């Protein structure tokens, strides 16, 4: 559980980034990384974009699980991200395995590794819709405090997305995710770790050096150097 001062400080830094950062993708990646650090129960996080109430993608995510779950929602046409994006502001799934609202999605998402989920609506503007999603691999991973802290992150993510949409910078946001994906690939090959582990290494380097996640990724892709070595 994050201490109040720690949460306030982290959110204040994110708010400052929203004002100064020309690349919205870097801000959104910082938000999902911080959500995993500070939202109780969050093991993975993503910002999903939904088009035409059907196609769900996660250009900003902390690992592979959110991408797998989004693919299932696209294939089945149902799930918490679609409900949060269009119909409700917050959707909590206490136990994916026993979820009855979306039976086909629930069965396949559980098989993919999701135990519980929490989704927050970010914005709705025509067919451009987005949601912040949190994942735990066990049932019962999220409580009332998870919703409270998650909403704080959702407000900052919504600011970044709306600003990016108004400036026409959403392609730049996706490009930032692609750069981080390249850096993850370098780490996966170098240290024989999976995508989740590679993102955690990048996030650790970002926190340890007080640098943007995108800058750490850029340095790794360009020079092969990582700001700090991964934890043993």
Mean of the per-residue pLDDT values for the chain? 80
Alpha-carbon gap, residue 155 to 166, rounded angstroms: 17
Rounded Cα distance between 132 and 120, Å, is: 5
Q: State residue 1's pLDDT score.
A: 46
**CA 55 – CA 70 distance, rounded (Å):** 9
CB 30 within 8 A of CB 14: yes
Specify whether 126 is located in the same domain as 196: no
Residues 99 and 205 grouped into a single domain:
no
Residues 181 and 150 in one domain: no
Residue 107: inside a domain: yes
The pTM for the full model equals 0.69
Summarised one tens digit per residue, pLDDT across range 122-175 is 877 666 678 899 999 999 999 999 998 888 888 877 776 666 556 555 544 455
Q: Could you read off the pLDDT of 63-72 as tens digits, one per residue?
A: 889 989 988 9
What is the predicted pLDDT for the residue at 232?
A: 40
Mean per-residue pLDDT, 35-53? 86
Alpha-helical regions (H) of the chain? 4-20, 24-38, 65-76, 80-86, 103-112, 144-167, 170-191, 195-209, 213-223
- The answer to whether the beta carbons of residues 112 and 75 sit under 8 Å apart is no
For residue 86, pLDDT over 60 is answered with yes
Q: Are residues 117 and 51 in the same domain?
A: yes
Per-residue burial over 101-128, b = 16 or more CB atoms within 10 Å of its CB, e = otherwise: ebeebbebbbeebbbbbbbbbbbeeeee
**Using an 8 Å Cβ cutoff, are 216 and 183 in contact?**
yes
**CATH code of the domain containing 187:** 1.10.10
| pLDDT tens-place string over residues 173-215 | 455 556 677 787 788 878 888 777 787 788 778 777 877 777 7
Extract the tokens encoding 154: 């959702």
Contact 145, 132 (CB under 8 A): no
Beta bridge partners of 136: 116
Q: Do 28 and 48 meet the contact criterion of CB atoms below 8 Å apart?
A: no
Q: What is the largest CA-CA distance in the chain?
A: 49
Assign residue 49 the CATH number of its domain: 3.30.450.40
Range of the domain at 119: 4-166
Q: How far apart are CA 118 and CA 135, in angstroms?
A: 7
CA torsion sign for 99, 105, 110, 113 is negative
Look at residues 171, 141, 210, 151 and name the one whose alpha carbon lies nearest to residue 59.
171
- pLDDT number for residue 214: 73
Q: Does residue 33 sit within a domain?
A: yes
Contact of 66 with 58, CB cutoff 8 Å: yes
**Tally of structural domains, the chain:** 2
**3-state DSSP assignment of residue 155:** helix
pLDDT band for position 33 (50/70/90)? confident
Residue 224, pLDDT score: 82
Asked whether residue 119 is assigned to any structural domain, the reply reads yes
Q: Among the three residues 166, 185, 200, which one is the final residue of a domain in this structure?
A: 166
Nearest-angstrom CA–CA distance, 48 and 83:
12
Residue 103 pLDDT level (bands cut at 50, 70, 90) = very high
**Confidence class for position 107, pLDDT limits 50, 70, 90:** very high
């Amino acid at each position: 559980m994050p201490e109040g001062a720690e949460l306030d400080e982290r959110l204040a830094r994110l708010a400052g980034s929203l004002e100064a950062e020309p690349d919205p993708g870097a801000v959104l990646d910082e938000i999902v990384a911080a959500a995993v650090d500070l939202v109780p129960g969050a093991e993975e996080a993503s910002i999903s974009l939904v088009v035409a109430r059907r196609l769900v993608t996660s250009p900003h995510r902390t690992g592979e699980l959110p991408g797998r779950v989004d693919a299932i929602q696209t294939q089945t046409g149902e799930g918490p991200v679609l409900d949060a994006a269009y119909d409700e502001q917050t959707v909590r799934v206490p136990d994916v395995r026993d979820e009855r609202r979306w039976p086909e999605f629930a069965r396949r998402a559980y098989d993919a590794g999701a135990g519980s989920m929490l989704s927050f609506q970010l914005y709705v503007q025509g067919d451009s819709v987005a949601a912040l999603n949190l994942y735990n691999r066990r049932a019962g991973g999220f409580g009332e405090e998870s919703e409270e802290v998650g909403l704080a992150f959702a407000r900052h993510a919504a600011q970044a997305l709306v600003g990016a949409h108004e400036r026409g910078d959403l392609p730049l946001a996706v490009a930032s995710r692609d750069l981080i994906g390249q850096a993850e690939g370098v780490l996966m090959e170098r240290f024989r770790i999976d995508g989740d582990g590679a993102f955690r290494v990048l996030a650790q380097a970002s926190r340890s050096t007080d640098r943007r996640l995108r800058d750490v990724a850029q340095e790794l892709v360009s020079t092969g150097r990582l700001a700090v070595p991964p934890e043993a």
